[in-house]
């Protein structure tokens, strides 16, 4: 496991874990979180958010917010995804999450194979959300925050079922898109939405 705290002769170096959620959906923003864990207040059970039940994620989300040395959640909107592409929008959300930390990290560990420009040393770790506790914590915060937001969008744009499928391209979502057309939160650059807009004229 990677450490949160690195100590040199000259300074204490804080390490932040970073991850995103929501790259694959057809609707809603992409979220990102950054977490610096407190070595004095360890949190048991941190892991890749996709391996945890919603109930377990909710418990850990609360513990991370209460016990982490610093944490933040940031977003890139559906409009930014369409304008920049999903990869660059994900990088932007991660940049915003790191910038919002109340403790400035000296090193950033990112889940995946690419790093955003965060103004300090950064390392991409494939499968990092299951290997590095701080990245696992970030994956949990990003996932829980996005799921909650999709519940809000379900109430704002009824009929699409956002609270259930979270914007992913399920059969029910595609059927609702065909019936209702896209709402302002749909990603118009994504194939199924773009194709439907073309058909609808």
**Residue 175 annotated as part of some ligand binding site:** no
**Residue 20 annotated as part of some ligand binding site:** yes
CA 103 to chain centre: 20
User: How many Å is the maximal CA-CA distance in the chain?
Assistant: 65
Measured CA to CA, the distance from residue 164 to residue 150 in angstroms comes to 9
Distances (CA, A) of 73 to 18, 38, 107, 137, 170: 10, 17, 18, 11, 26
CA 80 to chain centre: 15
Distances (CA, A) of 62 to 58, 111, 114, 122, 151: 6, 21, 28, 27, 18
**Residue 66 annotated as part of some ligand binding site:** no
Binding-site residue ranges? 19-20, 111
Binding-site residue ranges for a divalent metal cation? 19-20, 111
């Amino acid at each position: 496991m990677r450490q949160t705290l690195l100590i040199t002769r000259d300074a204490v170096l804080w390490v932040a874990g970073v991850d995103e959620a929501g790259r694959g959906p057809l609707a809603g923003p992409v979220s990102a979180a950054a977490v610096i864990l407190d070595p004095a207040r360890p949190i048991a059970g941190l892991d890749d958010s996709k391996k945890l039940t919603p109930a377990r994620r909710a418990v850990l989300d609360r513990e991370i917010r209460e016990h982490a040395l610093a944490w933040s959640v940031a977003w890139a909107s559906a409009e930014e995804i369409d304008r920049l592409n999903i990869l660059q929008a994900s990088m932007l959300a991660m940049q915003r999450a790191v910038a919002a930390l109340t403790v400035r990290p000296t090193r950033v560990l990112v889940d995946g194979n690419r790093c955003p420009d965060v103004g300090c040393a950064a390392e991409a770790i494939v499968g990092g959300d299951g290997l590095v506790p701080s990245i696992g914590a970030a994956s949990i915060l990003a996932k829980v925050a996005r799921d909650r937001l999709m519940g809000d969008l379900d109430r704002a744009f009824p009929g699409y079922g956002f609270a259930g499928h979270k914007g992913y391209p399920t059969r029910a979502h595609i059927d609702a898109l065909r019936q209702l057309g896209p709402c302002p939160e749909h990603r118009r650059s994504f194939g199924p939405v773009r194709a439907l807009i073309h058909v609808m004229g």
